[in-house]
Structures are given as structure tokens and as C-alpha cells.
Amino acid sequence: MRRRTLAASLGAAAVAATAVPGTAGAKTSGRCEDAYTWRNAVVNGGGYVPSIVFNETEADLIYARTDIGGLYRWQEDTQTWTPLLDWVGWDNWGWSGVVSVATDPVETGRVYAAVGTYTNDWDPSPGAVLYSDDYGKTWGAAELPFKQGGNMPGRGMGERLAVDPADNAVVYLGTPNGNGLWRSVDHGRNWSEVDNFPNPGNFVQDPSGDYSDDNQGVVWIEFDQAGRIFVGVADPADPLYVSDDRGQTWQPVPGAAQIGTVDGNKAIPKQAAIDHANGHLFIVTSWDPGPYNGGPATGKGGAVWRLDLATGAWTDVTPAYSPTGKTPGFGGVTVDRQRPGTLMAASENNWYPDEIIYRSRDSGATWETSWDYAFDANWSWPPARADRFTMDPSGSEWLSFGAKDDGVAYAVKHGWMIDALAIDPHDSDRIMWGTGATIWGTERLTEWDAQGPLVGWDAVAGHQVALPVEQFTVAVRAEGLEETAVQDIAALGGTLVSATGDLGGFVQTDLGKAGKQIRRPDWSSGRSVDFAALNPDVVVGTGDVHGDVDGHVGVSVDRGATWLTTKRLEGVAGGANAGTVAVSADGAVIVWTPGDNATAPVFSTDLGQTWTPVEGLPAGAKVRADRVDANRLYAFAAGKVYASGNGGLTFTATAATGLPSEGDVDLRAVPGKRKHLWLVGGKADGVYGMWRSTDGGVSWRRIRDFEEADAVGFGKGRGRRGYPAVYTSAKAGGQRGIWRSTDEGLSWQRINDDAHQWAWTGKAVTGDPDVYGRVYIATNGRGLIYGDIAP
């Protein structure tokens, strides 16, 4: 195998993660006249957390990595998470996907993050290893000659990064797609392939798709106290290697091949943990790399194995009992450093009724479960359910997803996709686990051990009974970690409505608290929102829907407090066909463009109960309403602008030319200004930028300050009668940023800075109608950011 060596791309120059004043490009060359403070509109989590890593030597030093939203460090004094990668900018947006994190056990300020979001062509950039010497306050980057998959299948396996505790200048990285095992000997600055490592892995989840066809590769690295290095490989026939000479030579671990199958299903070693005191290496395996799939069609989906590091003996210590009678596979595994012999593991996607968390206090010989069934004498369904702890979603009440407890299926669950499972190595009472939506945790874990069995036998009645136990509480531990992918924003003034990927959307009247989730209609992902400018009680939105019952369009007549379902449009299937929606300024007409790119826009005058085809618009046209004149609506499609003067019933193409005919384009109408429109978007190497019209889209003037622009919105103007402030996510003079104009686009100032870039911000930007200077920014994984002028 040829040797590949890579030098750090930034050398000694670190990327600062501290605030500095923004420098305006375009027509303004100085500093922004207003300093800004940046916060999140709180949701608390909202996305998948694949891993939580505690430092082994410094108490309360904890990192959580996300698949698209960067890396976070725990703040013990506030019990919140601090984002560490907000400096990642537009050109390297893929670095917001973190596939692994390692925290140095020797010099604890050192931390490493392996980044890169997709290994296919969705992400054009190669991956990198980011390195920091100061707990993530500043960073350097070593680019790699291959991609990494922070949002690909298998991203919950690992950790793929590991610091050698015997020589902390040495850091290892396991990689996918045949790239093998890599090593740095200078604290992550330079990397080279370990050319004598013999196996780059071969397990592919599904070779038929370009998202699922990764060779999962080299999965994790662990060090024992004898100085040996163990490496897990996604190869069912040869899954484990060891080096006892500091990585100079490598050998397959004898007997390891037996862990590569379970009930006839191929299995790979997803995670591992070493109990140093007892000399045990624990490995959880699964038939699937995760994080989406449940169990296989037949048989068990995974196992827990124990390797005696002194004798080399293997023991299958898979829990013998599951309340559901099945083992879909395993996600996370963790050991208790303070209590040798104690370990825990989590099922991976035991969808009904809940995930199962297992705990053993005898090195896997016996296990207890986090919940159990108690059947009556007739084995009636549903049985009673007995639980060791209660789930407290306070502050994140949306975690019920609008459901109610239904027998054994609770509305608020242990979670799903539990690959992140970690007992604090300094405190046996603290555990955290990540799910597809949040982080759960408790500081009362050892109360489990005093509870005894959950279910007993009533000999008189002749059936099982739930035994009384003193439950402890598990609560949300995601405060400060914001991971939603925001699709659209509507700022009504005092109320903020957002459409979000995976979660539908939120309505917030207090930006410091998680708002009301939009659950009816039953959106999986919200796609667009709008409100009637002259009657802002009327709010509309679209979302991808589950099944074929609810319509894609939702309507509220009370500022989002409650939502009405609309009629499903015949011929438009459920799923990802939400498209975009607009409502006339008086709220009388709703115009919806389905997202199937085959169905022409339709309008409704009865809050979505009936739909009528719009005349004059092609499929896929994006429609916006004039913010003053209820009869006027506008649309854009394939380089053409259309206008309606009869409330959106019919449209006619204007004579506009020179606008983008390719790429993503957005059109927005200006509050308080009849016929005023702004348009942004286009395609790189083509027509791309920003334009404005003051005559209803008939003629357009290009804003030449920007070579690229992707989102535009409006907020309160500087003076009482001033033109609304204009905000945009755009590129001026080679500088990407969030820009503001207070003089109708005559001059612009960049209001963010290099420490606050949030990767990709091209989906939506808007101001606030009541608060001058406030701007809301949709990010793809860092939630809904808002900025205010600093006092």
C-alpha cells in the first residue's frame, strides 16, 4: 500500500473562534457601525447527536459532536453547551459535519475533530482534521486527500479519532472507503497513512445508492494499559487488529472472526470500551452501521462481546433478555471507570415501544433493562410497563412530537438512534446519551442499582406484576446545543414562525424558550412559511407529510397558536412534495406551489379546504404576495417573472429579462412598499446575484455589489419613515457574510464576523418588523440564529 503524507493546510495559523468586528465590503469599506451579539432562537437540540465524549483525566470536560451542526463543549457552571465551530464558513461548510472527536487525556486543552459531511458529490470538499490547543477556542486545520462522512451512514460508530495516552503527540484516525488507518505524530498538524495497517475494511451497507455505498472502513481505536493498540475494522471476517509495538506492526486478534456474525447476519464492531481494572475489552456489534435501520428481517441484529486482554478468551455477553423478545442491534456502549465491571449498552432503533438501555454490574454476565413488561394471567395486550426512571422533557416539551402516552408506548421516549452513550469517568452517577433529537442525562444513575427487579411473579394471582421501585429522573441535557436545519422564517412582530427539517416547525413568542411545535398538519419537515402582511394573524406553511391523510399546507388564523389542516390535493402524493406557499396581504387567498415539479400552482379562498388551478404559472413557480396590495402577487420560474392583479387567480409574464434561469432563486416583497421586490440567487459560473424592482417586477436593477446572493429579507428601518432595512446572505468582494443596508441598497455593511459564519446560510434571512437591527438567519444544522445590535 502506497504511503500518503499530508501537511497541515493552515500550518501554525489558527482560525480564531473569538469575536472580531466585521469588515464591510461592497460600497462600505470600514467596520460595521454597529457591533452585533448573536444567539439562537431556542429549540434545545433538534438533531442527531452521534457521540458524547468525556475527558478521562479532567472532570467536567465533555464534548458532543453532531452530524451537521458542529462540535460543542460542556459548560459545567451553566449546565449548557457552547458551540465551537461557528467560524466554519461558506466555502468549507462540510466541516460542520463532525465524524469523530478526541480529547487529549494528557494535555487536556488539546482537542481534535475529524470533519467532512458527505463522502459523495453532495459535498465538493475533502475532509479535514481540526486541532485546538485551548479547548476549542481557536483551531487549525489539516486537510485530508479524501472525504469524510459526518452525515453518512455509520456516523455513530467510533470513535475514529484517538489520542495515544502513552505519547499524546500521536493521534490516530480511522477512515472510510479504503483509505485505511492514518496517524499524526505532531498533535494533528501533519498526517500520513499507516502503510503497514493491513485492512481498510470492506463492509458496505447498500451498494445500490450513492448515499449508502460507503465502505465503512476503519471504525475505532482503543489503547489498553499495556500499551497495545486495538483497531476495529468494518470487515465481518476480520474485524479486530492489535499492535504491541507502538503501531509498527499489526496482527489480527485471534478468535475475532466469531464476532462478525450473529444469527446468520453479518455484523461489524460498531463501538468498543475498555475496562482497564478488569482487563476487558467490550465490543458491541450490529448488522447495520446505523443510525437509521432497526433489526434485520430474521434473527438478532447484534451482540455484546467481551475479550479478556490477559488470556485472549472471547465471551458472548449479549443480554439474554429483551422485553420485546428481539435484539435489533446495538448502538452505544460505555463502562464505569469508578466501578469496574459496570457497563451499559443501548439498543439501536428498537422502534416499538421504546429503546432499551441495558446495565450490567458483573462484566456482562447478567443484565438489567431500563424498562420491562408485566403481563396479566391472560397475557393481555397491552401489558403494564415498569420503568426505572421517568423522562422529564421540561424546556423541550416538543419531544412528545404531539403524541400522548399510548399504553406501553410513551409520548416521550428514551429516544432512537442511541449511538452516544457515556458514563462520566469521574462520577458514576452521571450519564448522558444522545438521540436523533436531543441529549438526555441524569446525575442519579447509581440509584438504578438499588432498585432490584422491575417485574415479579404474583403466585396467588398467577401472573406477573410490576414491582414498586423508587424511580429517578432523566432530563434534557441539550441546552445550548442547537441543531435544527431551518428552511424558512416568518417574523410577524412579537411572534417568530419557522419551518424546520425533520421537526416540522416552531412558533415562538419568547426566543429564549423552545416554542410550540407545529404538529398539525403532521409535517415531517417544514418547507416554507408566510403570513398576511395586513392581517398577520393569518399564517400559512407547507411541510412534507407522513402518509396520505393531511394536506401539505397548514393554516393558522391566530398567529400560529393553533393550526387547521387542509385538503390533500389529488395527484400530489405525501412525502417530500411540500413546495412553497404564499398568502395575500389581507389573508383572503392562499397560493400553493406543490413541490413535485409536475403540478402547477393552485389557489384557495377557503383556508385550504378546496384548491383551484392558477392560470398562467408553470409547475415549480415560486409565488410571493405584495405586502401592501392584497390583489397583487408575484411569481418567478426559470428566469421569468409573473404578476397577478386579481389576488393570485391568474398571472401574466412580465417583460423582465437578464435574471437567473438556473439555480436556486428566491423572490421577496418589501413590507410597506407596494410593488417593491428583491430577487436573489442563480448558479455559479452563470447568472448569479441580487436584483430589485420598484414596479411590480416589470423592470429590474442589479445590485452590483454582490457577485453572489442567496437569501434576502427585510426588517424595521432606521428611522420612523425609513425604507425597511435589507438583510442578505451574500458574497461581496470575495467575502461571504450577512450584510445589511439601511439606504435601499446604496451601501452595505457586513454585520457578522469571521467567528460567526455558521457554515451555510443560504436558505432564508429576514429582519424583525419591530426591532431595528435584528436579523434572523436560517442555518443548515446550527438552528435559527438571530443577531441584535449590541448595547
Question: How many whole angstroms separate alpha carbon 311 and alpha carbon 281?
Answer: 12
For residue 372, give the C-alpha cell.
420491562
Q: What angle do CA 49, 788, 772 make, to 5 degrees?
A: 140
Report DSSP state, residue 158: B
Question: How many whole angstroms separate alpha carbon 540 and alpha carbon 552?
Answer: 11
Nearest by Cα to 113 from 123, 127, 125: 127
Give, rounded to a whole angstrom, the gap between the first and last alpha carbons of the chain.
Answer: 59
Question: How many whole angstroms separate alpha carbon 732 and alpha carbon 689?
Answer: 10
Report DSSP state, residue 471: -
Question: How many whole angstroms separate alpha carbon 251 and alpha carbon 233?
Answer: 12
Nearest by Cα to 64 from 42, 85, 90: 85
Give strand ranges (E) for 309-443. Answer: 314-316, 330-335, 343-347, 357-360, 368-369, 371-374, 384-387, 389-392, 421-423, 431-434, 439-442
Can you give the three-state secondary structure of 180-209, one letter per residue?
CEEEECCCCCCEEECCCCCCCCCCECCCCC
Q: Which stretch of DSSP H or E encloses residue 230?
A: strand 229-233
**Residues 87/15, Cβ–Cβ less than 8 Å:** yes
Backbone angles phi, psi at 466, to 5 degrees: -75, 125
Question: How many whole angstroms separate alpha carbon 43 and alpha carbon 220?
Answer: 32
Question: How many whole angstroms separate alpha carbon 160 and alpha carbon 166?
Answer: 18
Q: What angle do CA 772, 778, 782 make, to 5 degrees?
A: 115
Question: How many whole angstroms separate alpha carbon 268 and alpha carbon 203?
Answer: 8
**Residues 240/199, Cβ–Cβ less than 8 Å:** no
Distance of CA 2 to the CA centre of its chain: 36
Question: How many whole angstroms separate alpha carbon 504 and alpha carbon 493?
Answer: 21
User: Among the options 67, 86, 288, 626, which is catalytic?
Assistant: 67
**Residues 251/311, Cβ–Cβ less than 8 Å:** no
| 67 part of the active site | yes
What does each C-alpha distance from 742 to 533, 706, 745, 787 come to in angstroms?
21, 16, 7, 16
User: Among the options 213, 263, 502, 596, which is catalytic?
Assistant: 502
Give strand ranges (E) for 55-198. Answer: 62-65, 71-75, 80-83, 98-103, 111-115, 128-132, 138-143, 161-163, 171-174, 181-184, 191-193
Please list the residues that pair with 789 across neighbouring strands.
Answer: 36
- Catalytic site positions: 67, 502
